[in-house]
Amino acid sequence: MHDIIKRVLVTGASSGIGMELTKKLGQHGHHVVALARRKEKMDISFKDVPTVTPIAFDVCNISGIPGLIKEISETFGPPSILVNNAGYSVRAAIEEVPQIEVQKMFDVNFMSALAFIQAVLPYMRNEKNGLIINVSSVVGRVAIPFNGIYSATKYALEAISDCLRIELQPWKIKVVLVEPGPVHTEFAAASEELSKYLLTAKNTPYEKYYIPLMGKVDKFNQKAVSASFAADIIFKIIESESPKARYPVHWIAYVMPFLRNFVPSRLTDYLLAKYHRIR
């Protein structure tokens, strides 16, 4: 399969896993359309990779996705592989996350992924072939305190992926979930910055629980695998004839679902509460 040139669409390609994956695919000769808001960053990252075409696009523009896919398909040919990688997190207690933040997280992490899937599927069904890779999270399997809304967006992505995997069998379209744990990218720092106004708020009943959440980016990154490591896993999925349904990336992504599935909920809840100093 290594000599078959594929047409790949990658969202969230300006940094982290998306950037590393796009580079690797391009270096192996695959034609990649890379989407992100920061086109200037992509222009620099991919300037020596001629098979990569960066396009500035905000995935929150849900209504613009069908037209974008039509334009890409007419210009470069329809994508045979879609990698839904764009995502971000705002952390706080569920009670205190403003509705506008909830809506935006669902738009970026779930609704845009769904819109891209719906837009590419007619082309994939016509070809009776295709691969959809949805980058989820370990918290899409196990929700953790103060990350509940982000977890909800990833639970939703897991749900549609499980359904699609069955619904699309007649057309030989594969659907795969990638479930990172800690990965060394801009994600953790961006999440901390976006969450700061909530986590540093005064007169909140959660104040003493928020304090330990701040300033943990370095500790997070010490436990993290590299973005290149995660991208290599996705690259191997793309090169595989028969990929699995799920690919955990970090050992935490193996352990946490095991705890939730096979350890009594009361004990798992206790361990998560203790780790987050909720008592």
For 112-133, how does the pLDDT look when each residue is reduced to its tens digit (9 = 90+)?
999 999 999 999 999 999 999 9
154 part of the active site: yes
> Using 50, 70 and 90 to split pLDDT, how confident is the model at 1?
very low
What is the extent of the structural domain holding 64? 7-275
254 part of the active site: no
Provide the domain count of the chain. 1
Q: Is residue 133 part of a domain?
A: yes
Report the CATH number at residue 185. 3.40.50.720
Q: Is residue 2 part of a domain?
A: no
Catalytic residue among 45, 154, 161, 210: 154
Q: Is residue 259 part of a domain?
A: yes
Report the C-alpha gap between 196 and 199 in whole angstroms: 5
274 part of the active site: no
On the question of pLDDT at 21 being above 50, the answer is yes
Exposed/middle/buried for residue 203 (C-beta within 10 Å: 0-12, 13-18, 19+): exposed
pTM: 0.93
* Backbone region of residue 132 per phi and psi (left: phi > 0; alpha: psi in -120 to 50; beta: other values): beta
Catalytic residue among 15, 23, 150, 191: 150
CA dihedral of 34, 229, 89, 217, whole degrees rounded to 10:
-130
